Amino acid sequence: MSTFQPTPTKPWWASAVIYQIYPRSFADANGDGMGDLSGISGKLEYLAALGINAIWLSPFYLSPQADAGYDVADYRRVDPLFGDLQDFDEMLSKAHSLGLRVIVDLVPNHTSDEHAWFQEALASPSGSPARDRYMFRDGRGIDGVEPPNNWRSIFGGGAWTRVTENGVPGQWYLHLFDTKQPDLNWENPEVHAEMESVLRFWLDRGVDGFRVDVAHGMVKAAGLPDWEGQTAMVSGDETNTLASQSPAHQQKPAMDPPSPFFDQDGVHEIYRAWNRVLKEYDGDRMLVAEAWVEQPERLALYVRPDEMQQAFNFDFLLAGWDAQRMAAAVDNSLLANAAVGAPATWVLSNHDTVRHTSRFGLLDPTAFPKGISAEDEQPDEALGLARARAATLLMFALPGSAYVYQGEELGLPEHTTLEAAFRQDPSFFRTNGVERGRDGCRVPLPWKASEPGYGFSSGTPKEGGHAAPWLPQPPSFAHYAADTEAGVAGSTVELYRSALEVRAAHALGVGTHAWAPQHDPGAGVVAFSNGPITVLVNAGSVPLDLPPAAEVVLASTLDSVSQGKLAPNSAVWIAS
Ligand code: BGC
């Protein structure tokens, strides 16, 4: 029997609050220092009590872990690091019994080089069907010593690696990411058939949807033309990245010439086909696109009625703590989504970005560093947290679906002093440390302040105790441990719980956004109403007058409101 709340007019995902679990770092049930599926099962009650509606799991499939699981060696197997299929089924069924939907990650742009297909391709001659599943090409120049084109890897370095054939240098294969992540050839029908079969494998098990990795990347321009542009992961550079969609850049014309490997029109055919697969199943299954595209109107194409259901709103994530940029991101997203009849989505952090609590504490709170290390500017932790909590009240009051990255409900900062010796992100190594990488936002969660590893590991201790968490946690994590915040008035976790309760009670997720009279982004004020709630966000530097006799429903901190004024770096929900 279903325990899900009925959603009479809209499917569940249109307004869901979806919590991203990074399985390596969420909870470790077998004491080996690495998170696992049983660890997730053990914390589902916590998540249900938080008031979220769904979880999204980053990859837990068989993988050599060259990119923390985004390098899949077998799409139908669970990596022994995380457990097995039975653990997955138990987790799924428990989540469903608690009323939580489950979304899994799908990585269709590339496989691991240890995938059986790639191994077969390496053992097969050029021109063979096995090679045709990937992007193999002859090199340029004498004896093919030059790569087939000038594309760069998103993680740094070249995007091509040459293979050895019968002991001598042979063809090259494309990898937009790490050498160990060869790109699939989406011109090959076998690739389509296989990925649809993978979708069905997990749909048959009962998953509610998929987060589609690099959803704009699978189709490459015919002839693989050279391209002078630079592409990075989510970045603050003025290149062909997410940042170039941010409000500050929106008057900029689209890249000329556009990237030959991102956002090609051909990708939409793939999603139309997948939409048809999902339709065969009951229960409003969904797809959410991780697509880094230039213009909001281009992004909206991914969520046309016959394609995906959602796309991440990186424009909002990149706005930073800046009233004008936040307001513009809200306007642009609502407009672009409405044009195709799709609900908007909102997100502040994920496993690829510096946590927003830390970004918002930088001298420039719109900055978007590629990781932070001890040599870099260190964020003001308290200021960043205050702003992050205010941004949360802004986000949860918006109509549409909101994504929460694990630990943000505790107010967790980035680990900004992680030593190089512990870093694992391939982008750190491929850029010789110029990019600090994404490890700082992937540090294992603190559950219990007074336990070793802040209670990340539980279960039967191995001889000599639990293994250390796979990345070291900073000492400050003690203040943020879940057990120190639970039930404490004014803690971040209680703010999340209360906000989600009010959001649900007033169905804000399916509500209507309208700018309020106080809205004045130029003066640092973002203000809008959604049904019975009006949100005031003070991103300026002077206290803001609340309307006379305003009834405060929720404030971002216990001292945000005093004597009828809202302090800077704060937000408040008042009764409209
Ligand atoms: C994922 C990253 C991953 C990359 C390659 C991304 O967009 O979110 O974590 O490194 O795809 O799969």
Per-residue DSSP letter, 276: H
Which residue's C-alpha comes closest to atom 9 of ligand 1?
352
Catalytic residue among 79, 105, 213, 290: 213
**pTM of the predicted structure, to 2 decimals:** 0.95
66 lines ligand 1 (CB under 6 A): no
**255 closest CA partner among 292, 307, 301, 218:** 292
Angle 150-154-159 from CA coordinates, rounded to 5°: 35
82 lines ligand 1 (CB under 6 A): no
Contact present, 438 and 429 (Cβ < 8 Å): no
Ligand 1 pocket test, candidate residues 177, 349, 429, most atoms within 8 A of CB: 177
Distance 471 CA to ligand 1 centre (A): 19
Phi, psi of 287 (to 5 degrees): -125, 135
In order of their start, the domains of the chain are 12-109+190-499 (3.20.20.80), 116-174 (3.90.400.10), 512-575 (2.60.40.1180)
| pLDDT of res. 296 | 86
C-beta neighbour count of 274 within 10 angstroms:
21
C-beta neighbour count of 489 within 10 angstroms:
8
Compute the distance between CA of residue 468 and CA of residue 33 in angstroms, rounded to an integer.
5
Q: What is the pLDDT along the chain (576 residues), one digit of tens a residue?
A: 345 655 557 999 999 999 999 999 999 999 999 999 999 999 999 999 999 999 999 999 999 999 999 999 999 999 999 999 999 999 999 999 999 999 999 999 999 999 999 999 999 999 999 999 999 999 999 999 999 999 999 999 999 999 999 999 999 999 999 999 999 999 999 999 999 999 999 999 999 999 999 999 999 999 999 998 876 655 444 333 333 333 333 333 455 678 999 999 999 999 999 999 999 999 999 999 999 886 888 999 999 999 999 999 999 999 999 999 999 999 999 999 999 999 999 999 999 999 999 999 999 999 999 999 999 999 999 999 999 999 999 999 999 999 999 999 999 999 999 999 999 999 999 999 999 999 999 999 999 999 999 999 997 766 677 899 999 999 999 999 999 999 999 999 999 999 999 999 999 999 999 999 999 999 999 999 999 999 999 999 999 999 999 999 999 999 999 999 999 999 999 998
Q: What is the 3-state secondary structure (H, E, C) of 92-105?
A: HHHHHHCCCEEEEE
